[in-house]
Amino acid sequence: MLFNSHEFLFGFLPITILGFTLLERVGSRGKYLFLLLASIVFYAWWDVRFVPLLVGSFTVNYVGGHAVHASRSRGSKKHTWWLVTVFVGLNLVLLGIFKYAHFFTQNVDLLLGTDFNLGTIILPLGISFFTFEQISFLVDVGAGRTRPRELLHYALFVSFFPRLVAGPILRYEEIVPQMANERRREDTNVDLATGLTIFFIGLFKKAVLADGIAPYASPVFDAAARGGHVDFLLAWGGVLAYACQLYFDFSGYSDMAIGAARCFGIRFPTNFFSPYKSTSVIEFWQRWHMTLSRFLRDYLYIALGGNRHGSVRRYINLMVTMLLGGLWHGANWTFIAWGGLHGLYLMINHGWIALAERHAALRCFRASRIGMTCGFMLTFIAVVVAWAFFRAATFAAAFNLVEGMAGQHGIVIPIGLEFALEPVRGVLDAVGVRFAEGSGTILVKTYLWIMALLAIALCLPSTQELMIRAKPVIETTGGSTGLTLEGCRWLQWSRSRIWAIVMGGMAFTGLISITHVSEFLYWQF
């Protein structure tokens, strides 16, 4: 069941909110049990065969958490970390079987000429997300940062439906304590108003913006995959359209998850914070899929040694973290290449900062408006180029697109635009532009969509900034990334008549835009 499906919007969500709220109003402690059962129904809707996997996973990890906690309480550090390693290993084995077994055997077959056949392995919904959350739980218990509480709350932490499909990747300690709080009736209503507002902003982003631009991205990637030479305008149009689609798809999903959780009085951390506004790749990763970045930093990069063993080890750790981050997105070498590209970007970025720190002129340039603008443009182009590898099915398709973006396949304009371009015909001929069949309508629409969506992404505040007065996310979020969540000075939501009308309009537009099932891009990860 997807957030943007009719059964979710007109069935599951209203029924679950109603049931939870009624149980809360009568003071029943069964409200979280109801929410857990609802979450399991939500999971079963996708494929009932995997419910035992989910239940088994949170049960085993809960037991594991208790074992680790007991060992730590006894003061046995070595035994504690041995237990953590065993249970983390179990999680990774499960993830490995479902997500990477095919990839592994394919590569072994390629290298050794063998022919392993594992049959069909279905990737269970959300396994990448709940595996990471449970790993963070076990490590945090081992490190004494948290302790296991009620099984019901733990089970709900793992299966809570708003983040079950595609995150955000939560930490036990930031969610479970919220379940102990009793809401007053006024708070319930405020949470509902805030939650539904955020949810409908997300629905609008997904159904209107992301799905609206999607038809302009996919055909270009398909053409590249078929081996057709994709020219400069088409390649940039397709990859930029995908960059916008992914942005609004994931941003929309994150808003819907945050909004839905808030309806039940649970605040999530920020997961998405206007990443295309970044002026460096380091900043980009502080703004894009923030809870994944946080996980990779705290449980992988730092575990590998972080920056504690000199700059060479630091760069190696950085690259390893990003390569594994790429692999987490999907069992394909193109995802690893995407991660590797970002690893390279980050190394260059850190190198540039180190260099600038040693030279006053570079330091001044970096802090200047021109330096920031250059940083923004360079970051944006680098990120967009990397998306070609992220989205393309094969390396051949990705390189085809990148060559097109570099102008190696020439510049082709549909003949239907010839008339409009007559005044600049001389210039076009001089730079070798060719005209070919086609009305040009799609090309024009592609770039109009891109301009509109980039204007929204770059000029408007993020949902969290817009909603700052309603404290939309866990307040501490942002501190560890160095970013602070501040309200936008000129555009802030409040529970006013005008905002109710605006949000009603967005909700209506989002709802009537759902004409077919459109999966979230991060669903597949």
Partner 1 sequence: MRPGRYFLWMGGTMVALAVLAVLLGVLVDPYRMFGTPGLPGWTTLKPRIYERPGIAKIYQLERIAPRTVLLGNSRVEIGFDPASPEWPADTRPIFNAAMAGQGLFTALLMLREAIATGKLKTAVVGIDFLDFLQIGYSDNFALPPVGAEERRLLVGRDGGLNPARSLQLWRDRLASTLTIDAATDSVETLLDQDPETTTTMTPLGFNPLHEYRLFIARSGYYGLFAQKNATYVREYRRFKPPDFSHPLRIVNYRYLLMITRLAKAHGIQLILFTPPYHADYLEMLNQVGLWASFEAWQRTLADVVDAAKQGGVQVTLFDFSIYDRFTTEPVPPRHDLTSRMRWYWESAHYKSALGDKMLKRFFHGDKSLGYELTKANVDAVLARTRSQRAQYIGRINAEGTRQPLAVPDSDRVN
Both tokens assigned to 431: 């730079």
Q: Which residues within the stretch 55-94 sit at the binding site for partner 1 (CB under 8 A)?
A: none
* Residue 137 burial (C-beta neighbours within 10 Å; 0-12, 13-18, 19+): buried
- Evaluate whether 442 touches 264 at the Cβ level (below 8 Å): no
Residue 503 lies near partner 1 (rule: CB under 8 A): yes
The Cα–Cα gap between 25 and 293 comes to 38
Out of 48, 448, 451, 500, point to the residue binding partner 1 (CB under 8 A).
Answer: 500
- Evaluate whether 205 touches 255 at the Cβ level (below 8 Å): yes
- Evaluate whether 83 touches 71 at the Cβ level (below 8 Å): yes
Q: Between residues 145 and 434, which has the closer beta carbon with respect to partner 1?
A: 434
Residue 497 lies near partner 1 (rule: CB under 8 A): yes
Residue 210 lies near partner 1 (rule: CB under 8 A): no
Q: Is 229 a catalytic residue?
A: no
- Rounded to the nearest whole angstrom, what is the least distance from the CB of residue 186 to partner 1 in the complex? 8
The Cα–Cα gap between 350 and 281 comes to 9
Task: List 435's β-bridge partners, or say none.
Answer: 413
Q: Between residues 479 and 505, which has the closer beta carbon with respect to partner 1?
A: 505
Out of 10, 512, 519, 524, point to the residue binding partner 1 (CB under 8 A).
Answer: 512
Listed residue (105, 94, 101) closest to 50, CA to CA: 94
Q: Segment near partner 1 (CB under 8 A), from 97-105, 136-144, 277-285, 508-516?
A: 508-516
Q: Which residues within the stretch 133-152 sit at the binding site for partner 1 (CB under 8 A)?
A: none
Out of 92, 434, 451, 455, point to the residue binding partner 1 (CB under 8 A).
Answer: 434
Residue 501 lies near partner 1 (rule: CB under 8 A): yes
Q: Between residues 117 and 496, which has the closer beta carbon with respect to partner 1?
A: 496
* Three-state SS at 260: helix
Show the 3-state SS of 83-131: HHHHHHHHHHHHHHHHHHHHHHHHHHHHHHCCCCCCCCCCCCCCHHHHH
Site string for partner 1, 387-426 (x = CB under 8 A): ----------------------------xx-xx-------
- Residue 294's CB: how many other CB atoms inside 10 A? 21
Q: Number of residues in contact with partner 1, rule: CB under 8 A? A: 32
Q: Between residues 351 and 504, which has the closer beta carbon with respect to partner 1?
A: 504
Q: Between residues 59 and 509, which has the closer beta carbon with respect to partner 1?
A: 509
Q: Between residues 354 and 500, which has the closer beta carbon with respect to partner 1?
A: 500
Q: Segment near partner 1 (CB under 8 A), from 264-272, 289-297, 431-439, 474-482?
A: 431-439
Q: Between residues 120 and 496, which has the closer beta carbon with respect to partner 1?
A: 496
Q: Between residues 77 and 469, which has the closer beta carbon with respect to partner 1?
A: 469
- Rounded to the nearest whole angstrom, what is the least distance from the CB of residue 415 to partner 1 in the complex? 7
Out of 437, 484, 490, 517, point to the residue binding partner 1 (CB under 8 A).
Answer: 437
Out of 78, 358, 496, 517, point to the residue binding partner 1 (CB under 8 A).
Answer: 496
- Rounded to the nearest whole angstrom, what is the least distance from the CB of residue 138 to partner 1 in the complex? 39
Out of 17, 158, 208, 467, point to the residue binding partner 1 (CB under 8 A).
Answer: 208
- Dihedral angle of Cα 212, 213, 216, 218, to the nearest 10 degrees: -90
What φ, ψ does residue 33 adopt, rounded to 5°?
-65, -40
Site string for partner 1, 444-483 (x = CB under 8 A): ----------------------------------------
Out of 396, 508, 519, 524, point to the residue binding partner 1 (CB under 8 A).
Answer: 508
What φ, ψ does residue 431 adopt, rounded to 5°?
-90, 10
Out of 439, 476, 480, 524, point to the residue binding partner 1 (CB under 8 A).
Answer: 439
The Cα–Cα gap between 416 and 88 comes to 59
The Cα–Cα gap between 254 and 204 comes to 12
Counting DSSP H helices and E strands in the chain, the numbers are 23, 2
Site string for partner 1, 155-194 (x = CB under 8 A): ----------------------------------xx-xx-
- Rounded to the nearest whole angstrom, what is the least distance from the CB of residue 505 to partner 1 in the complex? 6
DSSP line for 305-344: TTTTTHHHHHHHHHHHHHHHHHHHH-SSHHHHHHHHHHHH
Q: Segment near partner 1 (CB under 8 A), from 10-18, 96-104, 394-402, 435-443?
A: 435-443
Q: Which residues contact 312 (CB under 8 A, 6 or more apart)?
A: none
- Rounded to the nearest whole angstrom, what is the least distance from the CB of residue 387 to partner 1 in the complex? 26
- Rounded to the nearest whole angstrom, what is the least distance from the CB of residue 313 to partner 1 in the complex? 53
- Evaluate whether 293 touches 285 at the Cβ level (below 8 Å): yes
Residue from 69, 102, 329, 350 carrying the catalytic annotation: 329
Out of 356, 509, 518, 523, point to the residue binding partner 1 (CB under 8 A).
Answer: 509
Q: Which residues contact 48 (CB under 8 A, 6 or more apart)?
A: none
Q: Between residues 114 and 496, which has the closer beta carbon with respect to partner 1?
A: 496
- Evaluate whether 483 touches 280 at the Cβ level (below 8 Å): no
Q: What percentage of the chain's residues is helix, strand, coil (to nearest 5)?
A: 70, 0, 25
Q: Which residues contact 465 (CB under 8 A, 6 or more apart)?
A: 274, 485, 486, 487, 488
Annotated catalytic sites, by residue?
329
- Which residues contact partner 1 (rule: CB under 8 A)? 189-190, 192-193, 196, 208, 415-416, 418-419, 434-437, 439, 494-497, 499-501, 503-505, 507-509, 511-513, 515
